[in-house]
Amino acid sequence: MRRLKLQAGEVIRTTLWSTRALDTGGRRPDPAPMSTRGATPVGTERRVELLAAVVRVIARRGYADTRFQDVADEAGVAVGTLQHHFGTRRRMLLEALQTWIDETDAQVEVLRTGQADPWERLQVLLVYLGTRLGERVDSWRMWLDFLGAALRDPELRGSGRRSNLRWVSAIAEVVREGEAVGVFDPVAPAEDVADVLGALFDGIALRIYALDSDASGSELVDRLIHTAEALLRPRTP
């Protein structure tokens, strides 16, 4: 387990933030923020720093209670700087949440396509996700708050649905690959196994943060791997 955690950590440290365009979900979009096309490296780096500050504030205060002034205080900038970069408060929050989702998606994809055998890669994925829960509390509070905000915002709901599908698909792809080469003997189709692991993952996260459980990230990792083992019946040398 220690080796897997170290391997996951090395991969995570090499992953960079990514950004994707946001769909409008059929609703009238907010005024567009200042374009980053032609931006200097310093300007781009500053925007990433501002988005990181937004993420920290959302994790601490929640999506609904995050204001321009809170982020300005966190980042050490004027409110006008945030308005210059993002235009509106809603656009700032949406871009921060989407950037956080994209970062996680990119890291999951790197881990999914590693060189290890399918069972080891799946464990690395679960270790990464579980370690993120145990060691980066802000990340999991972000995810739960994201889900809560998505109930009221069609744009966020669509983004969350797409991200969840990508996470489940990443797990299912590793399961299918392992089954094809004889490493796994699953008790159910790959998609069902991935859905069960994803649901277990979200459920434990909800219990830890919403219901103030004493469970830790390492305990989550153990439960996920034991459940995956029972569902996949891996054949190890």
Measured distance between the N- and C-terminal CA atoms of the chain, rounded to whole angstroms: 17
* pLDDT reported for residue 150: 82
Low-confidence stretches of the chain (pLDDT < 50) are 1-40, 42, 134
Work out whether the CA dihedral 206, 209, 212, 218 comes out positive or negative. Answer: positive
Work out whether the CA dihedral 55, 61, 65, 68 comes out positive or negative. Answer: negative
Q: Which two tokens stand for residue 59?
A: 């994790």
Q: Which two tokens stand for residue 58?
A: 């959302």
Which amino acid, 101?
A: I
Q: What values do phi and psi take at 116, rounded to 5?
A: -70, 170
* pLDDT reported for residue 216: 66
Give the fold, CATH level 3, of 2-27+97-232: Tetracycline Repressor; domain 2 (1.10.357)
Q: Which two tokens stand for residue 144?
A: 């739960």
Work out whether the CA dihedral 58, 63, 68, 70 comes out positive or negative. Answer: negative
- Cα torsion through 179, 162, 8, 128, rounded to 10: -90
* pLDDT reported for residue 231: 97
**70-125 pLDDT, tens digit each:** 999 999 999 999 999 999 999 999 899 888 888 877 877 877 777 678 999 999 88
Structural domain boundaries of the chain? 2-27+97-232
